[in-house]
Amino acid sequence: MEGFSFIPRSWYNDVMHKQDIIPYTAGIIDGEGYISLVPYSHCKTYNPVVKITSTDKVLTDFLLKNFGGYVHKRTFKNNLWKNAYCWEQRNKKLVKKFLSLFKDYLLIKREQAELVIEYCDIPIQKVHPRYKSFDPKAQERLHEIYKNLRHLNKRGKPPAETK
């Protein structure tokens, strides 16, 4: 199957069949993942980000080994809470490749994945070595994507509807 070159042969022989890894990982993204854009401070653009948090380091180590990115540990002051490990990928090209691989298997976060992939396809023009710019239509679409992602990722109860 195409797109499986990142998966070590020993892993899928011992744990599951090769064709099961993509849907399995998509389930992890749906359940434990976060897909969005993060505002980039010194220029008027955003960084795409995919995060997966788990209290089991085995999962984040698997993601790090196979998809790059980085892992950081979160410790909590409350002794009743377990430490958490957060895997992140913020490289635009790798985020797009990662999400494109899993997009068709996502049930809950498919819309977020499609919006971030669309963002990654918006052409950027460099007008200064440090700063990036977009044409006005692309800039407007970029902000729409950002607002839609914020709405989709919003926590809490939905606002009450009145008749």
Residues with Cβ within 8 Å of residue 132, at least 6 apart in sequence: 43, 45, 124, 125, 126
So what's the pLDDT on residue 116?
A: 95
pLDDT at 86: 95
Kindly state the tokens that stand for 66.
């196979």
pLDDT for res 137? 78
Whether 1 is covered by a domain: the verdict is no
Q: Is 138 domain-assigned?
A: yes
Residue 89 lies in a domain: yes
pTM (predicted TM-score): 0.78
Whose structure tokens read 């679409």?
141
- What pLDDT score was predicted for residue 70? 92
pLDDT in tens, the chain (163 residues): 455 555 555 455 455 666 777 888 899 999 999 999 988 766 667 889 999 999 989 888 888 887 889 999 988 888 898 999 999 999 889 999 999 988 999 999 999 999 999 999 987 765 555 666 667 777 788 889 999 999 998 877 666 676 6
What pLDDT is attached to residue 1? 44
CATH number at residue 29: 3.10.28.10
- Nearest Cα to 99, choosing from 4, 20, 29, 47? 29
Q: How far is CA 145 from CA 97, 119, 122, in A?
A: 19, 7, 11
d(CA 73, CA 27) in angstroms, rounded, equals 22
- Tell whether 16 is covered by a domain: yes
The CA distance from 88 to 117, in Å, is 16
Q: Has residue 24 been placed in a domain? A: yes
Domain that holds residue 39: 9-152
Number of domains the chain contains: 1
Predicted confidence at residue 112, as pLDDT, reads 95
Q: Is residue 163 part of a domain?
A: no
- Work out the number of other CB atoms within 10 angstroms of the CB of residue 118: 15
In a domain, 159, yes or no: no
What angle in degrees, to the nearest 10, is found between the helix axes of 110-121 and 92-102?
Answer: 140
In a domain, 30, yes or no: yes
Of the candidates 127, 104, 125, the one whose C-alpha atom is nearest the C-alpha of residue 114 is 104
Q: Are 54 and 84 in contact (CB under 8 A)?
A: yes
